Amino acid sequence: MGTSMARRGPTTRLWRLAKGAATRYLAPEGAVPVAAEEVIARYVSALAESSHQQASDPLADFRLTRKVAQDLGVFWHQATSQGWEAALRGWGLEDLLGQPLETLAQGLAGAWVGAGGGLEAAVARASLITVLLSSLSGRINGTPKPSSLPSADSLTFDPPGLVGRFLTTAFYQRLVLDLGESLEAAAGDGNRLQGGLAGLKELIHNAGERAAGEKLVPEHWQGLAGWLWVTGVAAAMLRHFQGGVSGGGE
């Protein structure tokens, strides 16, 4: 997802601070530079402010994302323990057997995210397809993808690792949508922009992997146990960046 899909977010004080941090992150000349950690911390604070105004919490903005993450955990556990055919049949998606990986990923996204619109659905759908394709190809950094499913025992990620990767990818994609306009305007050129985005992505993925690694893997991905694990990882990832603000105004 590129910054061409950036949207104009809210204009409250904390959102202005988040956008200002994004600008200074990539265009520090003449201003006090900020690190990638502060950009993410400002963004988390802005999300919390918006949620507070709606009498909820930031995780409520990621309810569909967490539901898709749990579905992914259920499916990946089935695939690695029972094989692809059993996993797809369990979801009523046996027609996807033998299809190209792109078709499989899109089919799973359609089943779990649905066809609904909205920002969260769009991010969850794109993130799920990205993570599935990179994982099914055996790499996370996008080498040419095979046209058929790899053997289940050769998969790069176990269920917790893959679910954690999906959560961090969705959070990163959401940040790019919300702050992308400021980042793109400040960068000035594509190479600088991509370098800055890579720094943000790495921090987010590292935080998510740490959070997933610290949680006891659920015995069953379905039901309350799986939901609590996904929610706990998402909450820990957000907490990791809270408080990482150096201070200062707009």
* Position 168 pLDDT exceeds 60: yes
Angle made by CA atoms 45, 117, 41, in degrees to the nearest 5:
15
Query: How many CB atoms are located within 10 Å of the residue 95 CB?
Result: 10
Which one has a higher pLDDT value, 216 or 75?
75
Give me the mean pLDDT over the 174-178 stretch: 95
Longest dimension (CA), the chain: 59
pLDDT score at 155: 61
In the block, which residue shows the tokens 């899109």? 106
Residue 62, pLDDT > 90, answer yes
Asked if residue 10 has pLDDT above 90, the reply is no
In this prediction, residue 3 has a pLDDT band, given cuts at 50, 70 and 90, of: very low
| pLDDT score of 7 | 61
Residues 6+ apart with CB under 8 A from 92: 111
The residue with greater pLDDT, 2 or 213, is: 213
Residue 96 in this model has a pLDDT that exceeds 70: yes
pLDDT higher than threshold 90 for residue 70 = yes
Please report the pLDDT score of residue 108 as a whole number.
Answer: 96
Here the contacts of 100-103 (C-beta below 8 Å, separation 24 or greater) are 100/147, 100/148, 101/132, 101/133, 101/136, 101/137, 101/145, 101/146, 101/147, 101/148, 101/149, 102/129, 102/133, 102/145
Q: Give me the helix-helix angle, 190-214 and 13-26, nearest 10°.
A: 120
Higher pLDDT, 196 or 52: 196
Average pLDDT over residues 200-219: 91
User: Which pLDDT does position 31 carry in this prediction?
Assistant: 64
Q: pLDDT category, 1, cuts 50, 70, 90?
A: very low
